[in-house]
Amino acid sequence: MEYNIKDRRLSKDGYKRIEWAETKMPVLRLIRERFIKEKPLKNKRIGCCLHVTTETANLAMTLKAGGAKVFLTASNPLSTQDDVAAALVEEGISVFAIKGESRSEYYHNMNQVIKNQPEILIDDGADLISTVHKKKVKGIIGGTEETTTGVIRLKQMAKDNVLQFPVIAVNDSLTKHLFDNRYGTGQSTIDGILRATNILISGCNFVVAGYGWCGKGLAMRARGCGANVIVTEVDPIKALEARMDGYQVMPMIEAAKIGDIFITVTGDINVIRKEHILKMKDGAIIGNSGHFDVEIDKNGLKQITRRKRMLREFCEEYTLKNGRRIYLLAEGRLVNLAAAEGHPAMVMDMSFANQALAVEYILKSSDLENKVYSLPLEIDQEIARLKLKSMGIKIDKLTPEQERYLASWELGT
Ligand code: ADE
């Protein structure tokens, strides 16, 4: 079996951590139990480009339990957990990923997955799907996409009429973005900041750039830690929402002067630029939890820097020509996955239940066109039902009278 990982001997630790995550992933476990019996993915070759974490390991093992042959590469050069990669190789899953790999190694590893002729792709950020399109790879039945950034890229491909197979936008499922993006990003970003810096968040000015679901979760958790939260936005509705949720809202150039910590979660490029950094206080911390490392203009930062040094793991000090010190976390890459472990298993349970069911859905549906689809609402609701059940939570049912009322338009005042 082919693989490219740091060290197979790390597998023992990986196994234990994967087992721990599994205890927090009851919905995925139920799907795995069914997959073992039904083998809906029998002999299918699945190529995955995902963060190589304990949660992804549980997804990969679920796909394998369904009969698939699984090939896995990392969706970020800094997010791989090397012990998990080692355990997966012991499980017969071909992993090509090493934490800290260079950009060229990242694409080399991705190409190892492509060389193995996957029929289904599971992507996080759309690098794998865009690469197979550029290389004109044949034989792919369909794909799934995990994240907001990837879905935006894929919808653009569909609009430009270049998409060569159907893709399920897993991020569009309510049981994905309402929980993973909000509670997952919120908690894991704080976790990454703390592991990289050990700062006290209470009492600081915490600037959140972008008020999508990730920004909402992060702002909520930062406030919970006692920060004064400032939101920057370009969308007037989201800006208004942030204000009415109780946060200060202002342009980045204003926030730059007063912020202590700045985290970008916009999905866009150069959100924190030279002109902002030049206004920042001595000691300001900047980081990113959006998918790509493009949200902080690192080139601009270098241009105004006199010297830099690594002060702590994932915390690099840039001394500017104006004498102030700025601290960049995790090279501007996803701080929650580079400096911490990504979202907790409890929330990835729903995201990856969606992924496993999306793969099954593609194989069952013969009428999909080369478009971006959401999973049917019934699948989304079933995942929520199972999650509630696993948490021991019961809910009410509509009475027949209530159902009739909702289906009628005649009744009014
Ligand atoms: N994306 C965010 N957190 C993650 C995790 N724990 N595993 C895989 N992908 C993730």
pLDDT given for residue 412 in this prediction: 85
Q: Where are the domains of the chain?
A: 8-176+343-390, 183-338
Neighbouring-strand partners of residue 312? 315
pLDDT given for residue 239 in this prediction: 98
Pocket test residue of 24, 55, 73 for ligand 1, highest count of atoms within 8 A of CB = 55
User: Any idea which fold 183-338 has?
Assistant: Rossmann fold (3.40.50)
pLDDT given for residue 413 in this prediction: 84
- For the record, the structure tokens of 73 come out as 């590469």
Please give the share of the chain, as a percent, with pLDDT higher than 70.
100
C-alpha angle 69-94-293 in degrees, rounded to nearest 5: 115
Grade residue 294 by pLDDT with cuts at 50, 70 and 90: very high
Which ligand 1 atom is the nearest neighbour of the CA of 334?
A: 2
User: Any idea which fold 8-176+343-390 has?
Assistant: Rossmann fold (3.40.50)
CA distance 295 to 197: 20
- For the record, the structure tokens of 389 come out as 């059940």
- Write the pLDDT tens digit of every residue in 247-268: 999 999 999 999 999 999 999 9
Question: Could you give the count of Cα atoms lying within 13 Å of 329 in the half-sphere of its Cβ?
Answer: 31
Say how far residue 217 (Cα) sits from the centre of its chain. 13
- Region of poorest pLDDT, from 58-62, 160-164, 352-356, 408-412: 408-412
> How many other C-beta atoms can be found within 10 angstroms of the C-beta atom of residue 210?
27
From the list 337, 291, 289, the residue with the least C-alpha distance to 53 is: 337
CA distance 217 to 195: 19
pLDDT given for residue 411 in this prediction: 84
CA distance 36 to 193: 39
Hey, is 1 helix, strand or coil?
A: coil
- Write the pLDDT tens digit of every residue in 123-142: 999 999 999 999 999 999 99
Pocket test residue of 337, 351, 352 for ligand 1, highest count of atoms within 8 A of CB = 337
> How many other C-beta atoms can be found within 10 angstroms of the C-beta atom of residue 9?
9
Q: Check whether 347 has a pLDDT greater than 90.
A: yes
CA distance 130 to 165: 12
DSSP state of 281: P
Q: 55 CA to middle of ligand 1, Å?
A: 7
Q: 348 CA to middle of ligand 1, Å?
A: 7
